[in-house]
Amino acid sequence: MSRAWVTDRWVRDATVTLPDGTTTKISPTSAQLKAIRTLPDHFRTARFGTGNRWLVGWYEPGSTKSKTKTFAKRAEADAFAAEMEDDLRSGRYIDPAGRDRTFASAAETWLKSKNRIKDSTWRRYRRELDNYVLPQWGTRKIGSIRREQIDAWVTHLRDGTAVHVFDVNEHIGKARTPVKMKPNYVKHVVGATFGGVLRFAVGEKWIGENPLARVELPRDEGDIENDLPSLSYVEIDMIASAAEELTRRETDRVLTELLANSGPRIGEATALKIKDLHLDRKRARVHRTWTTDREGHRKLGPVKTWEKRWLPLAEHVVDGLKNITKDRDPEDFVFVTVRGAAVDGGNWYNRVWLKARRVVAAASDYSVHDLRHVAATNAIAAGADPKLVQQMLGHKDATETLNTYSHLWPDRVAEVIAKVEKRRKKALRKQLAKAA
């Protein structure tokens, strides 16, 4: 039994009465069908000349209710019916209504399903959808997207010519313009956000295959001209002193020293409460961070499971923390403004960091986040092993740490070869002594 069939919506058989009084059905001749506009009325259905002529019908697996799709041309209907028949028999069936869903509709359904992600992650998906993904793919049927089209889009993203929609910057009165997109950003826009929608569509059986699956995204080759951000202890002290001079508050000096020596993220550092400090053990407990909700408002949130950690504190940082937290409530935030509110990392960047970093030429373009690299490079130079650096920075595993900093650990090849040679000579001497 056929699982898909084609029906002519314009033409029907006619019932005629024979001379003996019986009735029978007759079909239009080939000539009459070719001259469809002059087809006799008794062969015409009520839909004649209205809408698409050809209808393909089929039963979904496990259902007794038929589904249909119309076509203007018989060849298109036959091809669709053959493909549908094959999919139904082979178990590859995909509802055509899913393929015809617009990418924008699929994207909104996908985003609504993301109930386990942080609000800040949700906002990043929302921003990338609105800025780059939907302007390019929003009106497209999700089943019509092809790999070669994605390849072309990746190229345009990389050279800064991709279709985009940006909000108007209120400070300058005009929308910003895109720049050449770095590989890691391309990977997130295309692989995580755009790809997340496509993977969701495959899972929901709206499409049979993911057209992104074989797309090669660009690889980040790093900065071949410059090494990781690094500062000497003297340079760190200069910047920390400049921060204190700017605001006339020791709090800003201590925050700078903590960031550059222990390597927390700015959101983690400014979320520390006095009760998190264990200064007698030279440790601070990191288990919360500042983030944003879906409307962009600042809020406290948990760090990822593997990022909960004890932060090591240098002795001079401990001394500073003792000074700024003396006689204060354990529930207070460690780093507070003049009015007693927790320091806002973004505000601190503009108010303090941008000015303080100028005292050291090497740091003139460093971000606050670069101080994590500074802390890591100095810890490695002091003899810290990969596991300790991993724990200090809150990396998921040592692989991430080694991928970033492996070139900084001392090369011990010469040391190993020297030991091998020493053992060789000792063995040879023993052999010569036996022979004698």
The CATH number of residue 391's host domain is 1.10.443.10
> Is 427 among the domain residues?
no
| Tokens 């003996």 -> residue | 20
Q: Is 181 in the same domain as 282?
A: no
CA nearest to 118, candidates 299, 242, 254, 264: 299
**Residue 5 to residues 57, 59, 84, 182: CA-CA distances in angstroms?**
5, 10, 9, 51
Residue 121 resides in a domain? yes
Rg (CA), the chain: 34
SS3 218: coil
Please check whether residue 215 lies inside any domain of the structure.
no
SS3 state of residue 16: strand
55 with 8, same domain? yes
Q: Tell the burial category of 288 from Cβ atoms under 10 Å away from its Cβ (0-12, 13-18, 19+).
A: middle
The answer to whether position 35 is within a domain reads: yes
297 in the same domain as 401: yes
Give a yes or no: residue 219 inside a domain: no
> What is the per-residue DSSP string for 169-180?
ETTTTEE----P
CA triple 122-124-130, angle to 5 deg: 105
Q: Domain check: are 399 and 360 in the same one? A: yes
Both tokens of 262, joined, read 């222990």
12 near 43, Cβ under 8 Å?
yes
Q: Alpha-carbon distance 284 to 222, whole Å?
A: 32
Residue-number span of the structural domain to which 161 is assigned = 103-203
d(CA 228, CA 372): 10
Do 394 and 299 share a structural domain? yes
Residue 85 and residue 109 in one domain? no
- Whether 291 and 192 map to the same domain: the answer is no
pTM exceeding the 0.85 threshold for the entire prediction: no
**Of 164, 184, 203, which one is at a domain's C-terminal end?**
203
CATH number of the domain within which 136 lies: 1.10.150
Q: Is residue 210 part of a domain?
A: no
| Residues 123 and 259 reside in one and the same domain | no
Verify that 372 and 324 share a domain, yes or no. Answer: yes
Rounded Cα distance between 249 and 413, Å, is 48
C-beta of residue 85 within 8 angstroms of C-beta of residue 4: yes
Residues 188, 129 share a domain:
yes
Flag whether 282 is in a domain.
yes
Domain check: are 84 and 112 in the same one? no
Specify if 182 maps to a domain.
yes
Number of domains in the chain: 3
Instruction: Print pLDDT tens along the chain (436 aa).
Output: 458 999 999 999 999 888 888 999 999 999 999 999 999 999 999 999 999 999 999 998 878 888 999 999 999 999 999 988 988 888 778 888 888 999 999 999 999 999 999 899 999 999 999 999 999 999 999 999 999 999 999 999 999 999 999 976 555 566 678 889 999 999 999 999 999 999 999 999 899 899 999 999 998 766 544 578 999 999 999 999 999 999 999 999 999 999 999 999 999 999 999 999 999 999 999 999 999 999 989 999 999 888 999 999 999 999 999 999 999 999 999 999 999 999 999 999 999 999 999 999 999 999 999 999 999 999 999 999 999 999 999 999 999 898 889 888 876 667 778 888 899 999 999 888 888 7
d(CA 36, CA 44): 10
User: Are 114 and 184 in the same domain?
Assistant: yes
Tell me which of 35, 64, 92 is where a domain ends: 92
CB-based contacts of 291-298 (< 8 A; 24+ apart in sequence): 291/118, 291/119, 291/120, 291/267, 292/119, 292/120, 292/123, 293/119, 294/119, 294/122, 294/123, 294/126, 296/123, 298/344
